[in-house]
Amino acid sequence: MANRRRLQTLTQQLYKSTLHRDPPSLLQHLRTLTQIPNLPKTSFHPTSHYTLSTPNFYSSSTNFTTYRHFSSDRHDNSDNNDESEEDDSDYDDDDDDVDDDEMTEDSANHAVKREYSPEEKEAEAAAIGYKVIGQLQRSDRVFKSYEPVFAVIQIGSHQFKVSNGDCIYTEKLKFCEVHDKLILNKVLMLGSKTQTMIGRPVLPEATVHAVVEEHALDAKVIIFKKKRRKNYRRTKGHRQELTKLRITDIQGIEKPEIPTPEKAATKKVEKAAVAA
């Protein structure tokens, strides 16, 4: 505002001085002070701008031009550029995440569509830790009573301590169906009341037999997704596919005999004596 008032007073004085034939000394003084040589545009600071210019009075070389310089400098511009680059990088990261999700979905669909040969199925099943024998028939008597023997087995990346008649849930086994008979060959340890066998890391002669009862889904897990500075919030439910196995037999260790209860025999003897 102060600069504008000064310019208004100067223009008024210059206008009044044009009414006289001889220019006053003030005008000459202003000419000498305010005359700016014609410089190329590239020599000025990139942040400078033209604001006001006064008309020519006596000669074309008399130009009154003022320049306006902002308080911001190159450092501020660099900071703003850095912030914008960070924002762009955030958006790029989000886009990369979306692309990664799409790629994983495509790869999953590709894995589902792939057809495996019998040799590949056997190799992958052996790497997980099982082997499919065949379907369970009605004439098969695989389910037995409890035996005092336990085994530690590994299926995939999980380990289980099982006994005869136990049920376990594992991640879905791809190459088996319901009522299939399996042999779990990754046995890490066997034990009973009289002996214990520990593998290094696996017992080669030990096997655990099981039957596939069902393929099921576990409880729903809520997954929360958020993206910064995009107002993006989503909740997605996920249920993991599981396979239920029932342990039918443990082989590779001597099984102790189950002692018969003596109370029943004594009761029968007592009843016979009373009747006599």
CA geometry: angle at 43 spanning 83 and 60, to 5°? 130
Angle, helix 2-17 to helix 25-34, in steps of 10 degrees: 130
pLDDT value for 2: 73
Q: In this structure, what token pair is assigned to residue 88?
A: 């762009």
Q: Rounded to two decimals, what is the model's pTM? A: 0.53
80 exposed, middle or buried (CB, 10 Å; 0-12, 13-18, 19+)? Answer: exposed
For residues 51 and 134, membership in a common domain is answered with no
Q: What is the pLDDT of residue 49?
A: 47
Query: Torsions phi, psi of 64, nearest 5?
Result: -110, 105
Query: Residue 38: what pLDDT?
Result: 54
Question: In this predicted structure, what is the pLDDT of residue 190?
Answer: 96
Residue 11: what pLDDT?
A: 85
Number of domains in the chain: 2
pLDDT value of position 4? 80
pLDDT, residue 180, reads 94
Give dist(CA 105, CA 98) in Å, integer. Answer: 11
Domain region containing 175:
118-251
* Per-residue pLDDT, 225: 92
Q: Are strands 187-191 and 150-155 parallel, antiparallel or unpaired?
A: antiparallel
| Residues 238, 129 share a domain | yes
Residues of the chain with pLDDT under 50: 33-34, 36, 42-55, 57-62, 64, 71-72, 75, 91-92, 98-99, 111
Together in a domain, 64 and 178? no
140, 146, 152, 153: CA torsion to nearest 10: 20
Residues 180 and 209: beta-carbon distance below 8 Å: no
- Amino acid 269 reads V
Task: Look at residue 122 and tell me if it is in a domain.
Answer: yes
For tokens 């009075």, the residue is 57
What's the confidence (pLDDT) of residue 116?
87
Task: Give domain status of residue 256, yes or no.
Answer: no
∠ at Cα 123 (120, 126), nearest 5°?
A: 150
User: What single-letter amino acid sits at 119?
Assistant: E
Q: Among 36, 270, 29, 251, which Cα is nearest to 162's?
A: 251
Residues 48 and 150 in one domain: no
Residue 171 CB contacts under 8 Å (≥ 6 apart), including other chains: 155, 156, 158, 240, 241, 242, 243
* Residues 139 and 48 both lie in one domain: no
DSSP state of 228: T
User: In the prediction, which pLDDT does 1 show?
Assistant: 66
Q: Which of 47, 68, 89 corresponds to the end of one domain?
A: 68
